[in-house]
Amino acid sequence: MNAVTAPNTPPSSPHVMHTYGRLPIAVSHGQGCRVWDVNGKSYLDALGGIAVNTLGHAHPKLVPALCDQVGKMIHCSNYYHVPLQEQLAAKLVELSGMTNVFFCSTGLEANEAALKLARKFGQDKGITRPEIVVYEKAFHGRSIATLSATGNPKVQAGFGPLVEGFIRVPINDIAAIRQATEGNPNVVAVFFEAIQGEGGINPMDADYLRQVRALCDERDWLLMIDEVQCGMCRTGKWFPHEWAGIVPDVMPLAKGLGSGVPIGAVVAGPKAAEIFKPGNHGTTFGGNPLAMRAGVETIRIMEEDGLLANAVKVGEHLRAALQRELANVKGIKEIRGKGLMLGIDLSVPCGEIWSRSAEAGLLLSVTADSVIRLVPPLVMTTAEADEVVAILVPLIKQLLAEKGVS
Ligand SMILES: Cc1ncc(COP(=O)(O)O)c(C=O)c1O
């Protein structure tokens, strides 16, 4: 069997740049919520490629559609109209109640486009040094601008000078945002994740979302909600801001939109839809036919297979089982999140759980040092959720005992 050792082992391929702390597992293939490594060991996948594989692996409806598309056309230039772009954009507009979409290939690109939209929104109004409100513990990507917007010093270390023009505030504190922007005529936008992912599964309260929406309206700022990780059906709504009954002006998406095929999108409402003019923004791969087909089919399958309801049902089942099994365990601070985006916050760092769970046949991640993150494929069943709990709970108890917490 494949022994799992400590992370940060030297890369097995000396030619791939060493940018990730990887586990020594070489993956081979997957089916549904299962993944196999090259030695034939199977794993239950509660990570879904970090909230990407929304339909699980090798979905029987997605695979033939993608094969069909590869046989027709993978890529062409944005010098021409790509009908699938209009098809996917129309669907995203219908689902979001917003108006227009720009396509790209990753989350950071979607966020980069959002930041450019905000700056140009300000510049068009005569604000020559626009500033954007961002959040503590936020994660928006690793380009220079998006890592500057990110609220994690570890991500920024070594990459200064950072991009200027960001004002940082804590989450869920409307007084803090009012105070930080008091009398500042340069503010153009507020930018946050509806549920912070990398920062430790920290949801924005529904009340807070409504208050920020009202503040943006009052001050003529753009409300920009990064739903790259928490969007696309994961919380039981297409987009988690819907739980608060609001609509943003700008919504970057990526990850789960293409079920694994690289795709990003910036959805804009009327206040932001006309800001970019021809020549203002673009990307070679954005909107290519393969990615567009993946997006169209992902949404179609999510609708056909009732995955909104499944995310609620299995998410509630998983949360309830974790709460029951961990009820009187000292060292469990909180179980947070919504639908199939859950975090178990421990009172001690728990990075070891990442490798130990893999050794036990369960893929997940640990984020913000002490939060076990579960973002499985949205096709997960309640039986599979029970299996997650059966593997994970003893590992948590063992780790807490080792650390003298329990
Ligand atoms: C909320 C959020 N925004 C942006 C990104 C960056 O996306 P990508 O890695 O596709 O650039 C991530 C990635 O984890 C994310 O979680």
Sheet with 42-45, side-by-side order of all strands: 27-31, 34-37, 42-45, 362-363
Phi, psi of 392 (to 5 degrees): -80, -45
| % of the chain exceeding 90 in pLDDT | 96
pLDDT at position 2 is: 39
Answer yes or no: is pLDDT of 172 > 80: yes
Tokens encoding 176: 């803090």
Pairing of strands 250-253, 341-346: unpaired
373 lines ligand 1 (CB under 6 A): no
How many angstroms is it from 228 CA to the middle of ligand 1? Answer: 6
56 lines ligand 1 (CB under 6 A): no
Among 256, 227, 231, smallest CA distance to 59 is for: 256
Amino acid letter, 331: G
Query: What are the tens digits of pLDDT across the range 205-226?
Result: 999 999 999 999 999 999 999 9
Residues 6+ apart with CB under 8 A from 141: 106, 107, 108, 109, 111, 112, 147, 150
Answer yes or no: is pLDDT of 5 > 50: no
Is this prediction's pTM over 0.85? yes
Query: What are the tens digits of pLDDT across the range 15-74?
Result: 999 999 999 999 999 999 999 999 999 999 999 999 999 999 999 999 999 999 999 999
CA pair distance 311, 116, nearest whole angstrom = 33
Q: Which of 139, 142, 230, 285 to mutate to test the pocket of ligand 1 (most atoms within 8 A of CB)?
A: 139
> Which residues have a catalytic role annotated?
139, 226, 255
pLDDT at position 209 is: 98
Answer yes or no: is pLDDT of 4 > 70: no
Query: What are the tens digits of pLDDT across the range 272-296?
Result: 999 999 999 999 999 999 999 999 9
CA pair distance 233, 141, nearest whole angstrom = 21
| % of the chain exceeding 70 in pLDDT | 97
The mean pLDDT value of the chain amounts to 96
Whether a cis peptide bond, with omega within 30° of 0, leads into 153 is no
Answer yes or no: is pLDDT of 13 > 90: no
CA pair distance 346, 149, nearest whole angstrom = 27
249 lines ligand 1 (CB under 6 A): no
pLDDT at position 14 is: 87
